[in-house]
Chain A
């Protein structure tokens, strides 16, 4: 039993006692190590209409785990797996150990831990559930810019875990992996990060490893625009409230990028490095003027600029970008091994994502320094309530 478990049971056995007395016990039992900070103690509610970890503001650290179902995995086993994973995730999100958990003290500081689950195309086909595949959900076509490697591509199941604390995160990864691997085998794990909590105001847009302000144009959590872009509705019914994830591992060549001067870097996207303002504006969220020309008659935001190519006025082609940086250390020749775990969430990959991705394949100066090396898609079920489990609509 963990300290927390002890507190819970003490509370139960002493139900008639004044609450204050229970708190006294907590103080006794915990003393120094249990002391929490606001960052460490913060939790994100696991249960709800949607899975946590999507509309959740960025946690500092994240891991994507790709698993393939074992060949003989049945519908019933898949259901059990999701029941157990749900149970683990719900406990860990509260700062409680998994059941069982050999390192329960590592669960103590959840730091906004979330675990989010998604099903790859193989999940549906292996389990005979092809008829339940959501509209628009399929692997991306092969693109000429891709240099995909299997180590980072595809999988039947994804677990995306986020926390503001890397130690808590590592523990959660272990616990969830232990549960998942009874039914599946790990295919890859990909780790990423943004800034640490408290380093910048929570509202400040992240930077990627090119130094760019990345994430300016994004639907704001809790808005109708967010819901419209991200959450699926209608059919198949199990998927209502779910979302589709495109996960691309995109290598960023920091060494060739560094050969550019600031101006060259800025026009490749069309935004300033200093604050992310469009080249035609002053502040980050100023509307970009796509028509503006310089004295030579050239578009201030070039035709090849990433933002010109990616942007759209069509609300049906917008989506949530929630990318993490990855930095897998310096290679032996001294060059970078870094990039983006580009994670985009939308109700329908085909209609919302593919047109944008195709434009970027056709023309985007950023392609000079970026190379997609991994690619995967997942259908993320809606959330669940206590007693339920993630994917229940599909697997019950």
Chain B
């Protein structure tokens, strides 16, 4: 269901782009919109969806996610819609806990134009337990479990584990959220044409 919905969302996104944002045709592959959107506050985030004005070359894409403390969150491999303009990046550990986040992306459009930027958003009202930074002695035992493997911005690698999490709970939660996110995607994509310049492009 998750997949179907996302694909449907992507299809709609593609149509929207095709008909709704003709003005973007001459632009390079700039970011036209994202979920979560730049500056938004959302309660549930299990993946990032980036929509570009032009097809991107999958090989060259990089997306990173960190919270305001500089703790980075592990992301899965991106998938693309058939037009290669909508990129979906799963969050490996599932829904995010509350906090301020910075997503950084760097992509290359099919004409070779590299674009990068960042999307800042806030997660509020999430019931997902906050990340805890294990003490070095913990990490030896806990590193093997799931949980984002991150760098904390000072280049020292630490392993984060979530308090009280269990794989089964995550799968259920993830499935529900996926449905919600997919619905959210459809909505957001429809708004893309007016909001596409909100992202802070740095290049």
Contacts and interface: CB of A to CB of B under 8 A. Distances in A.
Interface string A265-301: 0011000000000000000000000010111111100
Given A297-B64, A298-B116, A256 B102 contact: no
Given A296-B202, A298-B64, A365 B104 contact: no
In the complex, the 8 A-B pairs of residues with the closest C-beta atoms, listed nearest first? A296-B104, A296-B118, A368-B112, A297-B64, A297-B104, A298-B104, A304-B60, A297-B66
Interface of A: 256, 259-260, 263-264, 267-268, 291, 293-299, 302-304, 363, 365, 368-369
A250 B111 CA distance: 19
A363 B59 CA distance: 7
Interface of A is mostly: loop
A293 B155 CA distance: 10
Given A263-B203, A268-B114, A303-B62, A296 B108 contact: no
B65 interface: yes
B102 A297 contact: yes
Contacts of B44: none
B72 interface: yes
Contacts, number: 66
B106 interface: yes
Interface string B106-127: 1010011110111000000000
Nearest to B106: A298
B114 A296 contact: no
B108 A297 contact: no
A294 B102 CA distance: 12
B64 A260 contact: no
A365 B114 contact: yes
B104 A294 contact: yes
Interface string B46-72: 000000000001011010111000001
Nearest to A256: B112
A368 B110 CA distance: 9
Contacts of A299: 62
Given A302-B62, A302-B106, A291 B155 contact: yes
Interface of B: 57, 59-60, 62, 64-66, 72, 102-106, 108, 111-114, 116-118, 153, 155, 202-203
Contacts of A259: 111-113
A256 B111 contact: yes
B60, B103, B114, B155, most chain A CB atoms within 10 A:
B114
A299 B102 CA distance: 14
A366 B111 CA distance: 12
Nearest to B110: A368
B112 A260 contact: yes
Nearest to B73: A297
Interface core residue of B72, B106, B112, B153 (most chain A CB under 10 Å) = B112
A268 B114 CA distance: 8
Contact of B116 (A256, A296, A368): A296
B114 A264 contact: yes
Given A298-B64, A298-B106, A299-B62, 19 more contacts: A259-B111, A263-B203, A264-B113, A267-B114, A291-B155, A294-B104, A294-B202, A295-B102, A296-B64, A296-B117, A297-B64, A297-B66, A297-B118, A302-B106, A304-B108, A365-B60, A365-B112, A368-B57, A368-B112
Contacts of A267: 114, 203
A2 B105 CA distance: 68
B157 to A, nearest CB: 11
Nearest to B155: A291
A195 B135 CA distance: 58
B158 to A, nearest CB: 15
Nearest to B103: A296
Contact of B108 (A293, A298, A365): A365
Contacts of B153: 293
B118 A295 contact: yes
Which has the most chain B C-beta neighbours within 10 Å: A291, A293, A295?
A: A293
Contacts of A297: 64-66, 72, 102, 104, 118
Interface core residue of A263, A264, A363, A369 (most chain B CB under 10 Å): A264
